[in-house]
Structure 1
Amino acid sequence: MEAKHEPNLAETLARELKTPVEIASNTAAALRRVALPPGWTLEQQDDSGKLAAPLRKRAVVRLKDADSFIDYVKRHGSLTDCTIWCKADYVKGEVAFTGIINDHGADPERAAWRDHRAFFSPEFSEEWRRWTSKHKQAMSQTEFAAFIEDNLKDIASPDGVSLPTGAMMLEMALSFEATQDMRFKSAIRLSNGGVNLSFVQDDDAQTLQKMAVFERFAIGIPVFWNGDAYQVDARLRYRVRDGKLNFWFELVRTDKILESASATIIQTIREKTGNPFFFGDAFVS
């Protein structure tokens, strides 16, 4: 049989006076338990916000660069109670770090609140955003030419590799603009890996204009803001529809490029903090 609760003097007094009566308190935690009419439920009131200083550290901060994240973790975290988590999905283009300043330690008898956290997601460079946003996105001749012209400085031609230079890509782009009002006739694959496109004027089927299109080219761009540049290979594609050409490019294995760029940041954070480092999700609400 369940034992009956015997009301103490404070509870009895509260019921008789029908006014709030403090039942118990914890001075160290700044907590009070008060009986409130008319339902006489027991309510806990937290007055810790009125203290001269918090009883413990609590914060959620978002840092803009790796150095700030490292400095914050070292300033507030200890080597035993602070952990760093890396959640990376390179295919989806996601890389993020979470520093839990007051995480559980190795001692099973010492639990922690895990509510002092620092977040950091490396910021992608403008060049990376521009090229990846157009990945596999069809463009008209004019749109493709304008995109190449606007981002011409990103075209890379590594030594010893037969890839078009920026000047060659610009010439091709200008040719696209010149033939935008012409009708596509044929495409012939060349021995050097390119494609020769033929166009005709609608009013003169005998007038041909030929233009070489490169199937492959490369760009050299930083993945992250203020970071090192990486070579990214690209395939040039086209489709004919109603006598008009649509162009697009496919960036080759951007997930591996992102993984390489992230490895540098991961190594820097691990070496400069020295905190326990985990790959995964901390599942902190």
Structure 2
Amino acid sequence: MNNEINQNNDLDAYRAGQLSQQYANANLPFVVVPGEGKVHTFPETLDRPLQLQQTVSLHTAKDFIGYVNRFADKNSVIFVNVLGGKIQAVLDYHEASPVEEYGSNAKQRHCLHKAIFNVEQTPEFKKIRDKSGESMSQSDFALFLEDVMPYINQPAAAELYEIVSTLSAKTSVDFKSGIRTDNGQVSITYNENIDANAGREGKLNIPEQIVFGIQVHRGGSHYALPARFRYRIKDGNLRMYYDLDQLEKAIEKSMEDTVTYIREGKVIDNGDGTETNLSGVHSDVTILEGSVN
């Protein structure tokens, strides 16, 4: 009785193996283990795999476009996660065509050939982003401003250098109060102790707003990123920080420009009076805002 059951299982397994070859439209080697009723296939013996399974990570938009254009067809889809900074192409995406036997408007495919482009934020942008809202002593704030001075559009470099110099020099003073003036600055009053019996009052003027001119994503354009200057005075000590305005909008705008480049291509100035045209992806590749596993 058991032998008969095993023979039936082996026969069913053999038929399943034959069927797998039929659906694969290829001669896929397989064996049926007697008594187990299991089919063991050997796809690694084929000259080419039956299905393409590959995930590639690209580091630049140009290379992402080049890879997609090499392998894409009219059913390929690119998914864009704007705030997540991730762009993913599924090159063997489902075919949008009616299939009567399934009663469906999509002919399914494996969706196993993918190209991923993680749009990386620049180190200088991450530094400015991460310091937003962080309270610093005046000396630390001076060091920070000096470090990011190349990325500050407003105030002008000469004015910014004077602020940094004043913050670095006035470390042994008692700060009293601060007011916002009509010319868009913050005027902070301090008392500098000259000796035991005398003192000298001074003022530290700092712009109410700092504007960073910065590249948000690697290879992208530069954007104006405004930040509001903040301060706190407690027991004569000054704490300073800034709050970035419209941070998410800057990230979103930079990503939108990257997606526009991927979709339409762009023209770059070579700096010598000539231009270079960079192509985008094929026009029949669909680009959607979203994500896919």
User: Per-residue CA shift, 1:240-282, capped at 9, x if unaligned?
Assistant: 2332111111111022222222222111212322201111122
Distance 1:246 1:177 in 2: 13
Distance 2:9 2:123 in 1: 66
Distance 2:6 2:92 in 1: 39
- In structure 2, the partner of 1:190 is 181
Distance 1:82 1:177 in 2: 57
Q: Which one of 93, 103, 109 corresponds to residue 103 of structure 1?
A: 93
- In structure 2, the partner of 1:142 is 139
- Summarize the Cα distance change of 1:204–1:106 in structure 2 as closer, same or farther, 3 Å threshold: farther
Please state how far the C-alpha of 1:10 moved relative to its aligned partner.
6.7
Q: Superposed, which structure 2 residues align to 1:70-149 within 5 Å?
A: 70-79=65-74, 81-89=75-83, 94-109=84-99, 110-149=107-146
- Summarize the Cα distance change of 1:65–1:12 in structure 2 as closer, same or farther, 3 Å threshold: closer
- In structure 1, the partner of 2:286 is 276
Is 1:218 the equivalent of 2:228?
no
CA contact (8 A) 1:23 1:34 kept: no
CA contact (8 A) 2:227 2:244 kept: yes
- Summarize the Cα distance change of 1:137–1:144 in structure 2 as closer, same or farther, 3 Å threshold: same
- Summarize the Cα distance change of 1:201–1:99 in structure 2 as closer, same or farther, 3 Å threshold: same
Is 1:25 the equivalent of 2:20?
no
Please state how far the C-alpha of 1:128 moved relative to its aligned partner.
1.1
- Summarize the Cα distance change of 1:170–1:46 in structure 2 as closer, same or farther, 3 Å threshold: farther
- What's the TM-score, normalizing by structure 2? 0.79
More helix by share: 2
Equivalences, count: 258
- Summarize the Cα distance change of 1:73–1:232 in structure 2 as closer, same or farther, 3 Å threshold: same
- What's the TM-score, normalizing by structure 1? 0.81
3-state SS of paired residue (2:224): strand
Q: Which moved more, 1:196-205 or 1:58-67?
A: 196-205
- 1:184 partner amino acid: F
Gaps of 5+ in 1: 1-5, 14-20, 158-163
CA contact (8 A) 2:86 2:117 kept: yes
- 2:290 partner amino acid: G
Please state how far the C-alpha of 1:230 moved relative to its aligned partner.
1.0
- In structure 2, the partner of 1:244 is 237
- The root-mean-square deviation of aligned C-alpha atoms, in Å, is 2.6
**Runs of 4+ that moved beyond 6 A:** none
- Summarize the Cα distance change of 1:137–1:29 in structure 2 as closer, same or farther, 3 Å threshold: farther
